[in-house]
Chain A
Amino acid sequence: MTLPLIFCLVATVIPVFFSKISSAPTWLGLQALALGWITITHFEEFSLHASLVGLEVLLVRAALVPHLLRRALRKQENARISLMPSNLFAWIIAIMLIILAFKFGDGARADARALTLGVVAATVVIAFLILSTNHEPKAQLVAVLFMENALALFETLMPESWPLTVHLAISTVYILTVCIGCWLVSGENPVCKAPADVVEETK
């Protein structure tokens, strides 16, 4: 369990320090692959539930959503900017938050559960950091998607896996977030429509 967790952490932390927004879909895909690995390890024996959950992670989180995001970011000028502003202050804050997140996880004991909690907490605080340091809506969308991956990872902390209903709801949230988010953050705002409507009612 430790190896995929570290893989997931790396896929979360590296893009914050070194990546452009345009490469975020790749990192999201890598996070999802790690998540899939963790999910498979989490289920001790093969079951329909386990295979459906694994399939959901791979199809939705590792393939579909990164593809949709990549398509939305293509040809976008401001997708070339950094995911988090590259300055020493932001970096120090990020490192401190990751350490704090692992302190939070270590509250239980130094085992896989504590590490998982640390990775979840680190992903959430990193997402908050991106939201607070980058005003670019595309970066904010990536931060929201990071948060939703953290929620999916959080499930592995539960004594029992969530039922398919809850999985379905959370997957729907993830897909809707990327579809609606991409539509809202890319492209121009429509021209104000009020006058046309008003004329119809008053002429």
Chain B
Amino acid sequence: MSTAIPSPVPEPMAARASGAATTSGTAYGLVALSLIFWLVSVAVFVTHPLNELPVYFAKRYLVLDPTSLLFVLVINTVFLGISVYMLSRERTSSLLARDIRFRATMTVVFMVAMNVGVMANHLILLWALIEITTLCAAPLVARGDSVAPKTTAWRYTLYSAMTLAITFLGFMCLSQSADLRGIDINFRVDQLSSSLTTVKDGWQRLGLAFVLFGLGGKLGLAPLYSWLPETYEGAPTSTSALLAAVQYNIGVVAVFRILQVFHGFEIGFVSQELLVMGYLSLIVAAVQMMAVRNYKRLIAYACVSSSGVIALGLSVGRAAAYGVVLYIVSNAFVKSLLFLSAGRMRAVYGTNEVAPLNGVIRVMPFSGLLFTVGIFALLGFPPFASFLAEMLILSGIVQAGNLMAFTVMCGMLTIIFVSTGRAVFPMLWDAPTRVGPPVVESLVTILPKLGFVCILIMLGTYAPEPVTQLLRAVAASIGGV
């Protein structure tokens, strides 16, 4: 059945018709800058053997350790992909062409804050930088095409401020705990553990509970998750990718820092809290995904479920730690791949709904195929890293003897698998609702997504030894074996 919607034509023709065929220097500048960021992070990785880490600098306010090194590499790789995507989109969208300077500037400021935040060795500084990344991302979210983009952006900002305020309450309780014991507290990551006690302490426990609860909200863990689907759906897709694949990781780093500080203190309590938030997130995501018929929202709920899997894995600790780290890294590339592919589909079809996109793989062969690959990676199919990571997490949960967590995770992932398949597979393979030749997509459009697919396959099959060592070092820092 054909519809009244005009059939797609090759992109360059459409672009010439709209007058947006030229690419500004700003977009090239953004790509060049992201390339520099990426090259610097790779150079740091190559020139700093793991046994020489940690390296402190900026008066010990910043640190280069395995955790910061891994996440600097990940976020800058994703940033490079997103920049290339923005370059390709600018050629076909006059809206983006008009707005490119503002969006590129905010993106660069966001990335600078991200890089510094990931390396922060002071919890208050890290806290402030997480908030700065949110405040840089909010105007980008407000550039979206939802019904009320500014309202969406404000809710995102407000939720972030609230979750970070809860984290701040946690810092206050930790300070109170230390003061009652007559100890001066210092919020440097490498010194905070000396202010903690192994004796059962209500203030310390309350502080830890608030800190984890607040950071959990920033990661989209239930119950403070509702900002995430709304923001990811309403924001422009490049911004959704930035939030899901880049900003998410600063929250992960903050949680890792807390786990590193509290290693040997209150581990049982941390596990219980993460376990509860993990269960809730998986259940919420599974239930919501059953009803979703909007592919951007579907990816957003997949982010909530991923956070749930990460929380469950972290609650187990030792055996699942490597799986969790691998899952987080693969998650960044899966989310970027999905959002960037979704952005292409959104640009051609003009909707986030699943139904009008029937047969998208025939209309947009490359983006459709890459979206399919992303969905398989999301669902944890081999040979992608997410498959290996999920297996390692499940095996860690079994080794820890937590059969309840194993059952909940398997059950909810099965529901998510069925719900995603029911929503997405007809969209991919049904008869197309549009007539005409397939959309011609340029190499620049496909290149970043292809890169992400290659990384996912590499991590899932044969990761180079230095990368494996780095992942192991990060896993060891959060209590892994």
**Interface of A with B (CB < 8 Å)?**
104, 107-108, 113, 117, 120-121, 124, 127-128, 131, 137, 140, 144, 147, 150-151, 154, 157-160, 162-163, 165-166, 169-170, 172-173, 176-177, 180-181, 183-185, 187-190, 192-203
Bound CA span A71–B215, Å: 33
Measured as residues with beta carbon below 8 angstroms from the partner, the interface class of chain B is: 35 or more
List chain A residues, Cβ under 8 A from B59.
Answer: 163, 165
CB proximity to A under 8 Å, residues B160-194: 161-162, 165, 168-169, 171-172, 175-176, 179-180, 184-186
Q: Determine if A177 and B161 form an interchain contact, defined as CB atoms under 8 angstroms apart.
A: yes
B128 on the interface (CB 8 Å rule)?
A: yes
5 chain-A/chain-B pairs, Cβ below 8 angstroms: A107-B203, A154-B168, A158-B185, A177-B161, A194-B145
Q: Determine if B161 and A147 form an interchain contact, defined as CB atoms under 8 angstroms apart.
A: yes
Residue ID in chain A nearest B8 by CB atoms: A202
**Which secondary structure dominates chain B's binding surface?**
helix
Bound CA span A169–B349, Å: 42
List chain A residues, Cβ under 8 A from B153.
Answer: 184
Contacts A157-B175, A189-B151, A200-B17 given; indicate if A166 touches B350 (C-beta within 8 A): no
List chain B residues, Cβ under 8 A from A131.
Answer: 158, 162
Contacts A107-B203, A131-B162, A162-B124 given; indicate if A197 touches B145 (C-beta within 8 A): yes
Which of B135-143, B324-332, B421-429 forms part of the interface with chain A?
B135-143
Identify which of A117, A128, A181, A193 contacts B157 (C-beta below 8 A): A181
Residue ID in chain A nearest B144 by CB atoms: A193
Bound CA span A157–B176, Å: 9
Which of B91-99, B251-259, B391-399 forms part of the interface with chain A?
B91-99
Q: Per-residue 0/1 for B78-99: is the Cβ within 8 Å of any A Cβ (1 yes, 0 no)?
A: 0000000000000011111000
Bound CA span A108–B128, Å: 27
Among A107, A140, A169, A188, the one with the most B-chain Cβ atoms within 10 Å of its Cβ is A169
Contacts A192-B145, A201-B347 given; indicate if A166 touches B124 (C-beta within 8 A): yes
Q: Determine if B18 and A200 form an interchain contact, defined as CB atoms under 8 angstroms apart.
A: yes
List chain B residues, Cβ under 8 A from A195.
Answer: 350
Q: Determine if A108 and B93 form an interchain contact, defined as CB atoms under 8 angstroms apart.
A: no
List chain A residues, Cβ under 8 A from B138.
Answer: 180, 184
List chain B residues, Cβ under 8 A from A187.
Answer: 150
List chain A residues, Cβ under 8 A from B129.
Answer: 169
Bound CA span A184–B95, Å: 20
Looking at the assembled complex, report how far the CB atom of B327 sits from the nearest CB atom of chain A, in whole angstroms.
30
List chain B residues, Cβ under 8 A from A113.
Answer: 179
List chain A residues, Cβ under 8 A from B132.
Answer: 169, 172-173, 176
List chain A residues, Cβ under 8 A from B350.
Answer: 194-195, 197-198, 202
Q: Determine if B125 and A169 form an interchain contact, defined as CB atoms under 8 angstroms apart.
A: yes
Q: Determine if B131 and A173 form an interchain contact, defined as CB atoms under 8 angstroms apart.
A: yes
B406 on the interface (CB 8 Å rule)?
A: no
Residue ID in chain B nearest A172 by CB atoms: B132
B265 on the interface (CB 8 Å rule)?
A: no
